[in-house]
């Protein structure tokens, strides 16, 4: 029999000081003789990353942010003994400074709809009992006791669930194909190789609610008719591996994995395989190659993985987030799921809202919500004084959506039409200090490293695009470059073998489409308006605004700023390396970005910067 507690203290942000916080809380509760009344729970990610470590006190939902060790006695005394909130730890709305005591009233949470992240930050991910207590494994019980595999697949089809890894293939159809494929031995695989830079939804799920992934995968195994499941986890996520492993052990102990699951006669087991740091292994055929212990190179898909995948056997591969959506769909029915979202994109999607917003973090929203609602209401808008320029979705395969299109609904079709894609859920907000040429160069540089090199269009095309982009940002762009870039991009898109190559030109094409002017400025005017491409800019002190505080003098790594206190400072253009350290520290906007041609410097910029052709490494 589980013990009953008067209150629960949920400590999130597993990775930081939370373990210390938890032991401090427990000690204090012990000292006050409250250990039997209040339970301290270490949970997974609560999503509100800048506010961490956060602490939720149940049942009343009091939400404390940025909790320090020194706050512990006060929290115990005030909240747990006297039932009052500690005012200074409550969340304050940045604009109005209004205090919001309960987490569900904070705009960051109130605009969200949490289905797949339902348990993240709410339960102890290590405890199977807690997962079961919040309704876990009900779905598996229902499926195994009262449904046929065909009925399960029909329910998934009814839900309209589509692949959450980004491509958006109908999950139910994939399951059906695998079920109908010829062969005795089949596999179900969860893709947890979250390689997109700027995305960590799958990490949060695997770390914060591992049983949901196991349950979804087990239901999938039953539906497609297999006894073996795999979870492929990124090597960079050791905690995910650890939590999944211990979850598998517990599930075995409880008869929820292994032979004769829940006495139904269905046998099923799951193995964890660690990736080894190759972005291309997120691609289905490459992932399966890697699972077999081979080099992760994709193959042509004349034959689908659902017919011949892992070890040439029918394999059903879905993203971790897709699998975690299955238990609620089974519990509440496909129709319920299909009632959320838009015509063709159903349910919710988890995103990592990061970059230049006030509240970066892990969020989950219903499909069809606008980008503006996400960025402004949940994300709190751009930092003070800055302006949003673009939102990047879909990782290196996606594109940049300009601020003028922020009213775009977030669903598979709208994002693709806008030249980007849903992707696995990275959402990077960029402001006027982000250069679009540099962003395109950044992604293409990433893809240059990650291209497996098997097909020549991807291997060579990406490299040539990178050369052009590097030259443009180094001030060596010439008329005609943009056109060559476009034609290269289209060739790579058409002729590459796998998804990586086919989508690799998206960052270039979307920035060219929406921000062509910025490219032209780089080439014709030799200026980077965002102040990012160093070869094209110089920093200057605006004498009228400078109060001579000396912050920039301290920040300059080149010792290139001089001036006396309370007198306007000056930047030595010969020493300046355009690192922008002074610009970042100045609180008075007294440092401005000007074209390089506007300042007098030596012949090559006077700063040791040599425009070289071989800037491409």
Separation in Å, CA 256 to CA 217, 498, 524: 12, 37, 65
Name the phi and psi angles at 206, rounded to 5: -65, -35
Smallest distance, another protein to C-beta of residue 229, A: 17
Q: Which of 237, 412 has the CB closer to another protein?
A: 237
Q: Which of 35, 579 has the CB closer to another protein?
A: 579
Smallest distance, another protein to C-beta of residue 210, A: 14
CA distance 167 to 283: 11
Smallest distance, another protein to C-beta of residue 428, A: 5
| CA 460 to chain CA centroid, nearest Å | 29
Between vectors from CA 222 to CA 218 and to CA 227, what angle results, nearest 5°? 75
Kindly state the tokens that stand for 286.
Answer: 């490459």
Q: Which of 390, 488 has the CB closer to another protein?
A: 390
Smallest distance, another protein to C-beta of residue 579, A: 6
CA distance 535 to 604: 10
Smallest distance, another protein to C-beta of residue 581, A: 6
Q: Which of 362, 369 has the CB closer to another protein?
A: 362
Smallest distance, another protein to C-beta of residue 173, A: 30
Q: Are 236 and 277 in contact (CB under 8 A)?
A: yes
Peptide bond into 499 cis (omega under 30): no
Smallest distance, another protein to C-beta of residue 91, A: 15
CA distance 514 to 579: 27
Q: Running DSSP on this structure, what letter comes out for residue 77?
A: I
DSSP letters, 533-547, are -GGGEEEEE-TTT--
SS3 352: strand
What are the residues binding another protein (CB under 8 A)?
A: 13-18, 49-50, 52-53, 68-69, 194-200, 203, 207, 234-242, 273-279, 290, 292-296, 352-356, 360-362, 392, 395, 426, 428, 430, 434, 439, 442-443, 446, 449, 452, 555, 557, 579-581, 584
The closest alpha carbon to 214, from 263, 173, 250, belongs to 250
Q: Running DSSP on this structure, what letter comes out for residue 2?
A: P
Smallest distance, another protein to C-beta of residue 273, A: 7
Q: Which of 235, 260 has the CB closer to another protein?
A: 235
Q: Which of 347, 355 has the CB closer to another protein?
A: 355
Q: Which of 273, 593 has the CB closer to another protein?
A: 273
Q: Which of 219, 452 has the CB closer to another protein?
A: 452
């Amino acid at each position: 029999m589980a013990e009953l507690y008067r209150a629960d203290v949920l400590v999130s942000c597993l990775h930081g000081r939370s373990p210390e916080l938890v032991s401090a809380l427990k000690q204090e509760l012990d000292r006050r003789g409250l250990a039997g009344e209040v339970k301290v729970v270490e949970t997974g990610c609560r999503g509100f990353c800048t506010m961490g470590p956060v602490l939720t006190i149940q049942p009343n939902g009091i939400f404390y942010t940025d909790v320090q060790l020194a706050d512990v006695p006060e929290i115990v005394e005030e909240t747990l003994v006297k039932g009052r909130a500690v005012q200074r730890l409550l969340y304050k709305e940045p604009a109005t400074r209004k205090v919001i005591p309960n987490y569900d009233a904070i705009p960051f949470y109130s605009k969200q709809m949490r289905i797949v992240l339902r348990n993240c930050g709410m339960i102890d991910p290590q405890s199977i009992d807690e997962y079961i207590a919040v309704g876990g494994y009900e779905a598996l019980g229902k499926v195994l006791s009262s449904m046929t595999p065909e009925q399960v697949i029909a329910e998934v089809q009814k839900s309209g669930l589509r692949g959450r890894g980004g491509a958006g293939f109908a999950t139910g159809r994939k399951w059906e194909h695998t079920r109908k494929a010829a062969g005795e031995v089949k596999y179900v695989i969860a893709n947890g190789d979250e390689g997109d830079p700027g995305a960590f939804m799958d990490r949060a799920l695997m770390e914060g609610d591992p049983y949901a992934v196991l349950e979804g995968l087990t239901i999938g195994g039953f539906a497609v008719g297999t006894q073996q499941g795999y979870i492929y986890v990124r090597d960079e996520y050791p905690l995910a591996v650890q939590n999944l492993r211990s979850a598998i052990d517990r599930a075995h102990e409880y008869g929820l994995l292994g032979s004769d699951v829940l006495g139904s006669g269905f046998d099923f087991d799951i193995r964890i395989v660690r990736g080894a740091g190759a972005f291309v292994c997120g691609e289905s055929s490459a992932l399966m190659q890697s699972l077999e212990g081979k080099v992760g190179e994709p193959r042509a898909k004349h034959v689908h993985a659902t017919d011949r995948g892992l070890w040439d056997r029918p394999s059903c591969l879905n993203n971790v987030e897709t699998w975690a959506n299955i238990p609620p769909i089974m519990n509440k029915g496909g129709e319920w799921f299909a009632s959320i979202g838009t015509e063709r994109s159903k349910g919710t999607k988890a995103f990592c809202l990061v970059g230049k917003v006030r509240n970066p973090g892990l969020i989950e929203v219903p499909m069809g919500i606008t980008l503006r609602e996400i960025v402004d209401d949940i994300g709190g808008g751009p930092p003070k004084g800055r302006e949003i320029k673009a939102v990047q979705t879909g990782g290196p395969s996606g594109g940049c959506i300009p601020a003028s299109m922020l009213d775009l609904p977030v669903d598979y079709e709208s994002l693709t039409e806008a030249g980007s894609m849903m992707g696995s859920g990275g959402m990077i907000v960029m402001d006027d200090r982000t250069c679009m040429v540099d962003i395109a160069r950044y992604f293409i540089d990433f893809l240059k490293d990650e291209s497996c090199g098997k097909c020549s269009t991807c291997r060579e095309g990406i490299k040539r695009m990178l050369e052009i982009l590097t030259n443009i940002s180094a001030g060596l762009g010439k008329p005609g470059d943009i056109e060559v870039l476009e034609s290269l991009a289209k060739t790579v898109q058409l002729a590459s073998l796998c998804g990586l190559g086919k989508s690799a030109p998206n960052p270039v094409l979307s920035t060219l489409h929406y921000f062509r002017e910025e490219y032209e400025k780089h080439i014709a005017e030799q200026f980077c308006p965002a102040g990012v491409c160093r070869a094209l800019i110089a920093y200057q002190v605006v004498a009228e605004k400078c109060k001579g505080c000396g912050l920039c003098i301290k920040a300059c790594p080149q010792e290139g700023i001089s001036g006396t206190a309370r007198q306007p400072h000056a930047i030595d253009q010969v020493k300046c390396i355009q690192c922008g350290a002074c610009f970042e520290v100045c609180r008075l906007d007294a440092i401005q970005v000007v074209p390089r041609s506007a300042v007098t410097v030596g012949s090559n910029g006077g700063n040791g910067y040599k425009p070289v052709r071989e800037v491409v490494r």
